[in-house]
Structures are given as structure tokens and as C-alpha cells.
Amino acid sequence: MEMVDLYVGPNKVHFSVHKELLCNKIPYFDKMFKGTFQEAAVNSATFPEDLPETFDLLVEWVYSGTIRPLTMIPGPDPQQPSAYRLSYPCTQFYSLADKICMPELIDLIMSRFHQVWREWRFLPSLNSITETYSTTSEDSPMRRFMCMSYYYMASHGHEEHWPAESVSRALLEIDGLAADLIRLTRQTKGAVYHPSQISACNFHCHDKTAPCALRGNEMPVGFAAAPGYFGGSGHSFGVGIQVNMW
Ligand SMILES: [Zn+2]
């Protein structure tokens, strides 16, 4: 069986993958390893700008057709809610799937991403919104998710956790956010939703006239966060919690 070598990140983390499988599954690699590029001659390619963790997930998807569930990992200090982060770099993985043009994978990642916010009832941090806007294209559904999170936090967040000063600064500093926010408020006529309160399909990129292949893929919602964590019943979304993506 012919293998290809992928070297990822500045430290060149090595992945060895079955060539036929990789090329059959992902046209981007088919062009790379079966065309006239240097990579095809040596069966090897480097991706210095990418995260090894995202390639680990990609290889998992190539072999298994699915990706592991996403969850929140607490930081070392339980008194520091902002220490929570996602169990893998989901938005970076999303950007990779976007770069290699795999809409089916993009939608699967979005479903995982949507699910974790639904379970944990937190909100992405302002830093995460900034990062998403700097790494995704203008019409990306991931931006739509972040814009909706921003709108929810701007209207429902407590001053203590989401100071109006920093929230307004984000609107000025994040290129494209203000325009997206105007489009969103026009679409919803001012109604505010936490993005995980509506179906994940709203953030899929597939043709909406076709049935959603991922419907029913969402796991039942349990209340994963510690009870009383928000000082309430736990039924409101985490307006006091900011989560950094990675
Ligand atoms: Zn869908």
C-alpha cells in the first residue's frame, strides 16, 4: 500500500496516510499527490502554517468517516471560568476543512461545534470571535454563529463579565462584525437567539432545499456544566462565561 507523508506545523509533526484513501476522499490531496506537483514525485508535503491537532482530526475523519465529540475542558483553576476551553481546536479545524474545500466535513464540524455550546450553555470569548473573523471568509457560517453569539452577549451579558467598554470596542475592531450584526438584526427583526437555541442546520453550508444529512446527528442535550455554576438554575445560557477556543 502506497503511503504519503504529511509534515504539519513549525515542528513538522509527521502523519503517514494511505495515499489512495486520502486522494479518493479529498480532491485537494488528489490534485496534490497525483498531479505534476513536486509533492506527487516524493509522496510528501509540508504544512508549516497548520496545527498538527487539526491534521490529527482530519486523518481520523479520512479513516473513520466521523470526528470525535467535542467537549469543554476545565482549566487548572475551577474558580477561573475563562480557563475553560474546547477539547480540540474546532475553529482551526473548520478553517482547514474550508481551505481544502470539503463542505461535508465543514458541516459535520459545525454540528459538533453547535452541540458543545448547546450542552454547556457558554458563550465564545471576544478573543475567539476576533480570531474567527480573522481566519474565515466573509460568508462563512462560522462567522454567522459568532455574530449571533456577539448579539446575544451584547444584549444579555452582565456588565461584570462583559463590560460594555470591551464589547463595543470589539465591534469597532473586528472587521466585518458591525455589518454582519446589521444584517442579522434585519433578518431576525431584532429577535435575539443564542446560536445553539436554533438548529445547527442554520449554520450548515449545504443546499437548504435538500434534506440535511446531519439531521438527528445532534446528541440529546444534557446539562454538562456544574449545577449552580451560573448562580441560577442553569437554564439560562452562560452569560457570565467566556470560553477561549484553544
Ligand atoms: Zn443541515
Closest CA to 149 of 118, 104, 175: 118
The ranges assigned to domains in the chain are 1-49, 70-243
Q: How far apart are CA 245 and CA 148, in angstroms?
A: 16
Ligand 1 centroid – CA 217 distance (Å): 10
pTM, 2 dp = 0.84
Ligand 1 centroid – CA 77 distance (Å): 37
List, in sequence order, every residue forming a beta bridge with 85; answer none if it has no partner.
Answer: 73, 244
Which grid coordinates are listed for 51?
496545527
pLDDT in tens, 177-233: 999 999 999 988 888 888 988 889 989 999 888 888 887 655 444 333 332 222 223
Pairing of strands 44-47, 3-8: parallel
Average pLDDT over residues 63-83: 79
| Per-residue pLDDT at 135 exceeds 90 | no
Closest CA to 43 of 6, 71, 11, 78: 6
Average pLDDT over residues 37-42: 93
| Per-residue pLDDT at 88 exceeds 80 | yes
Which grid coordinates are listed for 213?
444529512
Closest CA to 28 of 1, 6, 2: 6
Ligand 1 centroid – CA 68 distance (Å): 19
Ligand 1 centroid – CA 205 distance (Å): 7
Q: Range with the lowest mean pLDDT among 39-48, 92-101, 200-209? A: 200-209
As a whole-number percent, the residues of the chain with pLDDT over 70 amount to 84
Ligand 1 centroid – CA 166 distance (Å): 34
